[in-house]
Structure 1
Amino acid sequence: MFTKISSLTSPKYEGFDWKSVLLILFLVAFFIRFPFFFRDYIDRDESTFIIMGQSWVDGHLPYTQLWDLKPPVTFFFFALIIKIFGKSFIAIRLFGTLLVALTALFTFEIASKITSKKVAFWCAMFCVFFQSLFGSLQGVMSEHICTFFFTVGLFILFWKDDAKWFFTAGLLFGLSVMTKLNMVYPVLCLGIYFLWEGFHKKQIGSNFKNLSFMGAGFVATIALTALPYYLQESTTLWWESIFKAPLAYSSGKFHSPLKTLPFLIVILGLLITGFSTKIIDWKNRELQILTFIVVGVLLSYIQAGKVNGHYLIQLYPFILIPLGMGMSKLPVLHKKWKPAIIFLLVLIPMESYLEYANIISNKMEKGSFYNGEGIDVPNYISSHNLETKNIFFTEYHIGYWLLNESPPTKAATHPSNITREELFPYMQNPRSTGMEELRYIMEVIRPKTLVARKNKEIFDKKLLEYNAYIDLYLLEHYSLVGTVGRGLIYQRLE
């Protein structure tokens, strides 16, 4: 079944330059992600980022009119695209595809520093796969953005070794952290590594100098995000929304470090096995750096108390390289198994094949490639001239964007934030509990139109009080006027 270990090099891969690799990676990423360009939303977080970006385009800094639990660079990414291209799902998803391809390219360049171009190429290819498939990864997530910045910064540190480039890397690491705050953990672990290396190799002066420049770049980026808030005399809102709110969120009732243990055991077990068996060379400096970064990302998962599928985007570029190098040293399969391997590779983007069929079916049935209740429900509301002032989307909240409306309150920007009352003090919400917020929306704002989802509780099924209240309120004060797919459209009776 197996032949002896083959050479790590291959002429057809060694001839690759970065332009050829980028073209291949982009085409693969585009093929996988293209059918999802027309979906209303893939993950509810993406819809929230779009709404926050639009609010910025309309002249409101993040956290002032609307609020979400992400640093401002996430919203700036979406605001910039909306400002240039308008309300375009295609533009947003296209730039997401470009981010995936570029992250994979820099993964290739980093891996090329350590191993052969053949191994580096396949690490990059699987980086595209894992950032684009299996769950809600076809949307544009904050993890896609922050991982791109971090990977570019790491590439600079692998190829350059002077102060100005450490400063540049620090700027990029700052952008990464100001996109997703948990990336501060791998940044800190990277700093610890350079200090350890300085003591170990007796070059502490040089390493400390470089770290100082990297830290200066890092702080400069963070200070730059604070500047517009300082000019508006709202620095406290910036500080509490970016730094204090995530700590409160991670201590929420549904989060526990124990939930992350199975995943951590698997990842660390693979690395420890690779190092102990010498399949992966621990003495390799670049692999040491990657290991410290992986540990930093894993620590951030522990602090968050959960590991969602899209969180793993932050891990893939750094774990795939040592795993790819370890796999390359195993015996290769006999040539007769090559067709089976090719067949399996072709099957990997099965989600994309199904989505291609879905958009073709939607075009034939409804005359549009754009699909999903997040698009169909707003179209129904517009075509039936339903009231949109103070409309309340408990589901499909991308509809606010399509109808040129805003959520009824700051806490309702992401529907689930209504129940996260531990965040209310940091968003400067005038109400102190989630039930008080919900009652304010339903009994004071009194939205004329409310959108929910069929066969799904409006709030998490564990939140019995919230669901009991809104179910009874809808029964007494609203009537169901339309059903669009799984979307339920209610109108207020009085």
Structure 2
Amino acid sequence: MSKVLKNITSFLNPNYQNLNWRTVFLALFLIAFFIRFPFFFRDYVDRDESTFIIMAQSWVDGHLPYTQLWDLKPPMTFLFFALIIKVFGKSFIAIRFFGVILVALTALFTYGIGRWATSQKVSFWCSVFCVFLLSLFGSLQGVMSEHICTLFFVIGVYLLLSKESRGWYFAIGILFGLSVMSKLNMAYPLLSLAIYLTWGALAKRQFWHNFQRLVFMGIGFAVLLALTATPYYLQGEITTWWESIFEAPLAYSGSKQHSVIKTLPFVFVILGLLYAGFASKVIDFKSKPLQLLTVITIGILLSFMQAGKVNGHYLIQLYPFILIAAGIAISKLPLIKKKYTAIIVFLFVLLPAEAYVEYVNIISNKIEKGTFFNGEGIDVPKYIIENEIETKNIFFTEYHIGYWVLDETPPTKAATHPSSITREELFPFMKNPRKTGIEELHYILEEIRPKTIIARKGKKIFDKKLEDFNSYIDNYLEKHYKLIKTIDRGLIYQRL
């Protein structure tokens, strides 16, 4: 036992002076792979990931995003999944593997940014904890839009610190464009960063030289936006591009009931810790990298306030930028005594507990069902195929990754993500002829008349607050459908 502990301790204390980018990436990749590997076989971890996949499949099939199916995300998120599907086919393993790559690269460039602000040791451990925080606690084991946009933004920030030429600033603009076109709220930290850089250019003697670089960054950003618009322009769908990417999110955020007040405690805690670090001089306020990270952090916090909530996967965008300041502050604390080393090692090994539980789950599933792949989104479609159940116009109110597994599409644009049926404010941007969610539901059930409907046991089909929606569909199911099979929590209804 003491030998094992000694080996783990030596791993936790590498020779930091000998670290290079390749070695750091390998370490980060292996940690990310170990934590995320058991989730390669899960049907879905977050429902949004399922939506991204079926949107991407529609693109692979020749339909631009928002034309056949519809979701409230910019197109680069769908392109990420579409490229994987185009190359590797319908593979959960390929999608989740590239999730590992996203996390490892984000952590690697967090390490690179840290090198400009602090020691190699602190930077390395910031990158390690970046892997943990981007992979654990909630639905982060799936591939989220936040993983995609954060990688592009982190690379852009690293290049901003390490490069000077106008060509590189053009590339930085493209990277920031890719980030915003993966998740629109990244416009907030980008705007904060642009204000900071413009102010810095005005304060310096070489104003024109610095301003030119910012112009090239802006051109790069504009070029990326133009590239995303070009396919729509060529197909005469440029209004679809504009309305779906820019107008729809504004309409959605304006209609939400979430309060800015709910985010204030979290925002005040983060800002309070940053202020305490700068005021106590634990964190050097004069450091340009730390100024950049602080400005970006403020921008991200503003986007949380605008959204009126802080979901767990939103924090993916924040972690790389606050970890370095946190790491610098922690490094100033007194060294841990050797007698407590075993406790620290134990806590470190215990940290990925979610991964350990999932390893047990996939092994149990293999023993019980003969496959590592698990979840109702896989088992329900498998039962449907084996029993030759009608799939034409099938309607998944839950486990909608099943559309992808069965090679089917949602019955309407609004049903791409099941919850979008209730988002009436988005219907105009979908070009939906129905005006209300109840009309949409009525159309699906009584006009399209799906032969098969999938629901989830013990869960209302729509949000509990939407009593009229739930009452309508519950009564309709009771009158016109019968439950033919329950698979774990998956309910398969067939039309009478």
TM-score category (smaller protein): over 0.9
RMSD of aligned Cα (Å): 0.9
1:173 — aligned with what? Answer: 176
Counterpart amino acid of 1:84? V
The aligned counterpart of 1:39 is 42
Taking the TM superposition and a 5 Å limit, the aligned residue runs for 1:335-414 are 335-414=338-417
Structure 1 residues 39-58: aligned runs within 5 Å: 39-58=42-61
Amino acid at match of 1:463: L
Residue 76 (structure 1) aligned with residue 47 (structure 2): no
Partner secondary structure for residue 15 of structure 2: helix
By how many angstroms is 1:207 displaced? 2.3
Summarize deviations over 1:188-211 as a string: whole Å, max 9, x none. Answer: 111111111123334432222111
Structure-2 residue corresponding to 1:7: none
In the alignment, the residues of structure 1 paired with residue 425 and residue 279 of structure 2 have an alpha-carbon distance, to the nearest angstrom, of: 44
Residues 294-337 of structure 1 deviation map (CA, whole Å, 9 limit, x = unaligned) = 01111111111211110110111111011111111111221111
- Amino acid aligned to 2:420: N
Q: How many Å separate the matches in 1 of 2:340 and 2:478?
A: 61
Does residue 248 (structure 1) correspond to residue 271 (structure 2)? The answer is: no
Amino acid at match of 2:113: I
Q: Does 1:296 align with 2:303?
A: no
SS in structure 2 of the partner of residue 298 of structure 1: helix
Q: Deviations over 1:394-415 (max 9, x none)?
A: 0000000000100000000000
Q: CA deviation at 1:249?
A: 1.4
What amino acid maps onto 1:352 in structure 2?
A
The residue identity in structure 2 corresponding to 1:124 is: S
User: Paired residue for 2:469, among 466, 469, 476?
Assistant: 466
User: 8 Å contact 1:168–1:217 — kept in the other structure?
Assistant: yes
User: Equivalent residues in 2 for 1:71-110 (5 A)?
Assistant: 71-110=74-113
Instruction: Supply the AA of the counterpart residue of 2:159.
Output: I
Tell me if the contact between 1:373 and 1:484 (Cα under 8 Å) persists in the aligned partners.
yes
Q: In structure 1, which of residues 213, 216, 220 is the aligned counterpart of residue 216 of structure 2?
A: 213
Partner of 1:65: 68
Provide the C-alpha distance between the structure 2 equivalents of 1:335 and 1:269, rounded to a whole number of angstroms. 32
> Where does structure 2 lack aligned partners over 5 or more consecutive residues?
1-12
Partner of 1:279: 282
CA offset at residue 248 of structure 1? Answer: 1.4
Supply the AA of the counterpart residue of 1:62. P
**Structure 2 match to 1:184:** 187
> After TM superposition, where is structure 1 displaced by more than 4 Å over at least 4 residues in a row?
none
Question: Structure 1 counterpart of 2:436, which letter?
Answer: T
Q: 1:322 aligns with which of 320, 325, 330?
A: 325
Q: Which residue of 2 aligns with 1:311?
A: 314
Q: Aligned partners of 1:102 and 1:294: how far apart in 2? A: 20
Q: C-alpha separation between the residues in 2 aligned to 1:256 and 1:328?
A: 37
Structure 1 position 159, deviation (Å): 0.4
Aligned equivalents of 1:304, 1:466: Cα separation in 2: 25
- For 1:454, the equivalent position in structure 2 comes to 457
- Over residues 74-104 of structure 1, what are the superposed CA-to-partner deviations in whole Å (9 max), with x where a residue is unaligned? 0000000000000000000000100100010
Say which SS state the counterpart of residue 32 (structure 2) adopts: helix
Deviation at residue 11 of structure 1 after TM alignment: 7.7
> Size of the alignment, in residue pairs?
484
TM-score w.r.t. the length of structure 2 is 0.96
2:128 pairs with 1:125: yes
User: Is the contact between residue 195 and residue 204 of structure 1 (CA under 8 Å) also seen in structure 2?
Assistant: no
After superposition, give the CA deviation of every residue in 1:263-295 in whole Å (9 maximum; x if it has no partner): 111111111111111111111111001100001
Equivalent position amino acid for 2:86 in 1? K
Cα deviation 1:152-203 (Å, max 9, x = unaligned): 1111111001211111000000000000011111111111111111233344
Q: What is aligned with 1:430? A: 433
The residue that corresponds to 1:26 in the other structure is 29
Pick which of 166-175 and 203-212 moved more. 203-212
CA distance in 2 between partners of 1:208 and 1:439 (Å):
56
Distance (Å, rounded) in 2 between the aligned partners of 1:11 and 1:59: 50
Choose 11-20 or 290-299, whichever is displaced more.
11-20
Distance 2:263 2:192 in 1: 19
Deviation for aligned residue 1:257: 1.4
Q: TM-score, normalised by structure 1?
A: 0.97
User: Percentage identity across aligned positions?
Assistant: 68
- Which residue of structure 2 aligns with residue 4 of structure 1? none
Q: Paired residue for 2:4?
A: none
Within 2, Cα distance between the matches of 1:252 and 1:117?
46
